[in-house]
Structure 1
C-alpha cells in the first residue's frame, strides 16, 4: 500500500475501512475496503480527519487485514457457525442453532501467543442460542506478513477452535426415592423442576417412578426405565450420606460405571454421575428442588450434547463452581461454572 493525499486519491482503491464516529450518535463504517474514491468523497474524508489515506499496492507475501481475518476464521471455525461480514480485520462467529459451545482452549492459547492476530471467545461449555455471538477474530495491523497466518494454520493443523455441538433430544426416565414421598406424606417437588429443565432442551420425560427406600427396588426401577427406552436416567432423593440414603449404591448395583459421587460445586456437592453403557445416570442432590441454578444446570447441556464427562471435568468446576445465589438469577450470563 502507499500513502497519498486525499486530494490525489480520486480513482484509487481504498485498502482499509474508514470509521465515522459521532459521540452518542454513531460509530459505523463510512468507507469500505475496496471503495473507489470519487470526487465527492474527498470532502467527507477531510471531515473525518483523513488528509492522507492508504491505497492498495499488492505486495507478495503480505495480506490485507480482511484477507488475513478470513483465513484466521477458516482455521478456527468448526461446526454450527455462521459469520458476520469482515470489517476492519474482524469477523464475528454466530451460533447457527441452539447448542453447547466448545472451545479448544489449548489451541486458542497457542494462536493468541502469536503476534498481531487474536481470537476472542465466550467460555467453553457455554449453552448458547441460535444467533448468539460466540467469538471473533481480529488482525491487529492493516497489513500483515503472511508468514504469521501460515504459522497459525500450521499450529491448528486441521483442528478447530470453536464449535457448537447440537443437543440431542432424549427420552428421560426419573426415579424418585424416599419413604416420605412414596407414602404420600409429602408431595414430590423434584419431578416438576426436572421436567421443566429437560423440556427446555426438547427432551421428553417418558415416566417417573416413585419408590421407597430399598436398594433393589431403586435398581430395578432404573433398569425398567432403560428397558422402556429411557436414554437418560435422573435419580432424585437419597443422595446424602445418611444410612437410609441408598440411591448411590442402587445406581452402582445396576452395573453402571460411577464417574464421581461428589463435585466441587455449590449448590450441588452431593451430585453423582454414572454411565450404564452409553446411558448417563444423574443422581441429583436435594438443592435441585429449590435452588435456581445448581450443578444440574452445568452438566445437563453437556450430557445432551453427547459430551462424555470425566472426573477431571467435574473436578475442574471447582474453579468457578461457587454460585453467588443472586436474588435475580442471570445464569448463564454470570460467572457460575465458567472457570474450566
Structure 2
C-alpha cells in the first residue's frame, strides 16, 4: 500500500485518508475517490490529497476483516458486517465463552495491521453479546500477511467456542447449627437460587439438616434420587479441611473429593468433588452473598459442560483477586469501604436522555399516537418514559409540543423534566433543539429517544451507555439489529453545536456521515430498536394490544 500525498491527476480509485469538508459536501475518511469527488476537490482548490493506494496483492480493510472473522467463526458464533475495517463476533446463545488464548496471541503477533480483541476467557455471555472485535488498522493488508493470520486461525480446533448453559437440576443441602439466624439461611438459598436460574438451571426443594456428617450424606442421597445433576452443600460452619463435615458427607454418600481450596478470593474454601458422575461441592461462606466469587467460576463451567479438574481450579489465580478492598490482611468487615483515589474505578459517564414527545401524529390523525394506551391503560409515551427511567440515563427531559397538557398529564408523577418546543410545528429539528437546550452542563452525552418506540427497554439503553466512551473514539453510539441501524442514538456533548444548526423536519442521524470514525454500533438481541408505531396498522402489532387515545 502506498500512503501519502497524491496529485489529483493520479487520485482516481485511491482511498481518502482523512475526512475533508468542502462547500456543501463532506468527503469521509475511507472514501474511494471517483471522478465526481476529484472534481469537487478541484473546485475547492485542492491540488493533491492524502490517500492510500492499494498495490498488487493488497486486501482492502473490510475484505480483510471479514476474511479473518470468517475463519474465526464457529458454531453458535456469528459475525457482523464489515465496516471501517472492523467485524464483531457475536454469541448466538447464552453460554460460557472459551478462547484459545495462545492462538489469539499468535494472530496478533503476525503483523501490526491485524488485531483481535476479545472478552476475558471463560466469560458467561448472553445472546447477541459481542465476544470479540477484529480490527484492521490500515486501509489494506498485504495478502501474504492475511494468509498467515488465516492459517494460524485455522489451526487445530476452534479459536472461539460458546458452550451453551444446560438446564441442570441442582440439589442444595443446607446445614444448621443452634444460634444461626434464619435470615442467614434464607440468604444462602436466595443467592444460590439466583445463580442457578441465571445459568438456565432449576432448584430442587432444599434439604435442611443438622450440621453432621450422617444427616448431610443422607440428604445428598435423597437429592440424587430426586434427579439432581449438581449437588451443593452450604455449611452452617465454613469447611476447613478435607475431613470436615461437608467433604466427609460426600465421601460417605459414595463420592470422592477431587480438590479443596482455590486461588480465588473470595472463594478460597471451595471443596470440589463428585458422587458418581454428579458434581458435588461444599460451598465457601462467601457463596451466601450474591457478589462474584470463586464458586461462580466453577458453577459456570459445570453448567456449560466444561471440565473442571484440580489443575483448572489452580489456574484461576491470575485475575482471582475479586475482593473489593485493597488493604491486607484485615478481615473484610474491618477494611476501608472506599478505595483511595488511585484505586477507585473509573467514573461512569454522565448521560442524559431526551424523549421526543412533541409531534403532531399526522399519520394517525385524529389520534395522538403518543397517548394511545395499551391493554393495561398505559399511554405509549408513558411506556417509553418508564423504560428510560429503568435505565441509568439521568436526567430525563421530555420535549412537549402538540397537546402539551395531555402529554404532561400522562406523565404526571414521573421524575422527568419537561421542555416545551414552542416551534414544534417546524419539524423534528425544532423539538430536538429544545431538548438539547435543557441539558445540564455536566451531561457528557445524550440519548435521543423517540416517543413512539415503546419496546426499547431499559437494559438496551444501558448497553448503549456502556459502549459510550468519547476518549476511546466511541462518541456516537447506534443500536443495530442484524446489521440494520436503529434508534435511539447516543451523542457526545461535542456534537451539540452541530445539532443546534439543524433545520427542518430531520433529526441528527445524518451527522453520522461526517463523523463515521467516531461512531460505534451496538448489536441488540431483538428488533425493538427498529420498531416505531406511527400508524394505526402498526399499533396492531404493539404487544398487549392498544386502545385509542
TM-score by length of 2: 0.51
Matches of 1:261 and 1:217 in 2, distance apart? 22
- In 2, are the aligned partners of 1:100 and 1:128 still within 8 Å (CA)? yes
Which residue in 1 is equivalent to 2:279? 280
Q: 1:243 offset after TM fit, Å?
A: 11
Q: CA RMSD in A?
A: 3.6
Q: Deviations over 1:220-263 (max 9, x none)?
A: 21122121111111110054238994111111233334221111
Matches of 2:27 and 2:205 in 1, distance apart? 56
Pairing 1:38-49 to 2, within 5 Å after superposition:
38-39=35-36, 42-43=39-40
- Candidates 97, 115, 124, aligned match of 1:127: 124
- In 2, are the aligned partners of 1:219 and 1:254 still within 8 Å (CA)? yes
Q: 1:309 offset after TM fit, Å?
A: 0.9
**SS of equivalent to 2:40:** helix
Moved more, 306-315 or 288-297: 288-297
Pairing 1:49-64 to 2, within 5 Å after superposition:
51-54=49-52, 59=56, 61-64=57-60
**SS of equivalent to 1:85:** coil
Which residue in 1 is equivalent to 2:95? 99
Pairing 1:1-340 to 2, within 5 Å after superposition:
5-6=7-8, 9=11, 12-13=12-13, 16=15, 20=19, 30=28, 37-39=34-36, 42-43=39-40, 51-54=49-52, 59=56, 61-115=57-111, 116-155=113-152, 156-180=154-178, 187-237=185-235, 238-241=237-240, 245-290=244-289, 292-325=291-324
**SS of equivalent to 1:177:** strand
Moved more, 205-214 or 35-44: 35-44
Question: Gapped runs of 5+ residues in structure 2?
Answer: 326-336, 339-344, 346-465, 467-549
Q: Deviations over 1:267-309 (max 9, x none)?
A: 1111011233432212111122246222122222222111111
- In 2, are the aligned partners of 1:18 and 1:32 still within 8 Å (CA)? yes
**Higher-Rg member (1/2):** 2
Which residue in 2 is equivalent to 1:337? none
Matches of 1:105 and 1:242 in 2, distance apart? 34
Q: 1:53 offset after TM fit, Å?
A: 3.5
**SS of equivalent to 2:273:** strand
Q: 1:323 offset after TM fit, Å?
A: 1.9
**SS of equivalent to 1:135:** strand
* Structure 1 residues 41 and 85: CA distance shift in structure 2, 3 A: farther
In terms of fraction of residues, the more helix-rich structure is 2
Moved more, 204-213 or 283-292: 283-292
* Structure 1 residues 321 and 21: CA distance shift in structure 2, 3 A: farther
* Structure 1 residues 2 and 214: CA distance shift in structure 2, 3 A: closer
Matches of 2:198 and 2:104 in 1, distance apart? 31
Matches of 2:29 and 2:181 in 1, distance apart? 73
- In 1, are the aligned partners of 2:259 and 2:273 still within 8 Å (CA)? yes
Per chain length, whose mean CA-contact separation is higher, i.e. which structure has more relative contact order (CA < 8 Å, sep 6+)?
Answer: 1
